[in-house]
Amino acid sequence: MTDSRKRSLALFYCRNVPESGEDVRQAIEKAYGEQIHLFPLPCSGRLEPVHLLRALEEVADAAYVITCPEGACRYFEGNRRARKRVERTREILSAIGLEPERAGIVIGSKDAPRTLSQLTQEIYDMVCRMAASPALKRGRG
């Protein structure tokens, strides 16, 4: 059962995601405040499991990656690497007793591309249905 508090999301994204420029990133961060932490990447394949795990410990209830469409990576295999690394992160989360759903990946679509703003809203809505993360270091009064 979830409580009514807002959740926080660390969102790593490929700069090839439609409408993901600096002005869009700033608008999203302004709209969501401390609930969303955006991390643009030159390629999602640069992300390592430690980045997701650190985000889950330091800033977020969930950490997700948005990649460019499969087969459309300008670095050839970046989004495939990202998928494997998210799967590895989910295995680690499960092994330590956390829900693997706290880490995830959304792979862009060539046929029905969605903007960074649209994807952020969809992922954040899903994260808000989760319970607060017991791993997140929350400020204690």
pLDDT of residue 140 exceeding 50, the answer is no
Q: Which residue range forms the structural domain that includes residue 86?
A: 9-128
Domain count across the chain = 1
Length of the chain: 141
State percent of the chain over pLDDT 90: 69
DSSP 24-80: HHHHHHHHHGGGEEEEEES-GGG--HHHHHHHHHHT-SEEEEEEPPTT--TTSSHHH
Mean pLDDT, residues 134-139: 79
Residue 96 lies in a domain: yes
Closest CA to 118 of 8, 7, 13: 13
Q: What is the pLDDT of residues 22-72, one digit of tens each?
A: 999 999 999 999 999 999 999 999 999 999 999 999 999 999 999 988 777
CATH number, position 50 = 3.40.50
Strand order in the sheet with 36-41: 36-41, 9-14, 62-67, 103-107
Spatial separation of the C-alpha atoms in residues 97 and 119, rounded to whole Å: 28
pTM for the predicted model, two decimal places: 0.89
Q: What is the pLDDT of residues 62-75, one digit of tens each?
A: 999 999 887 778 88
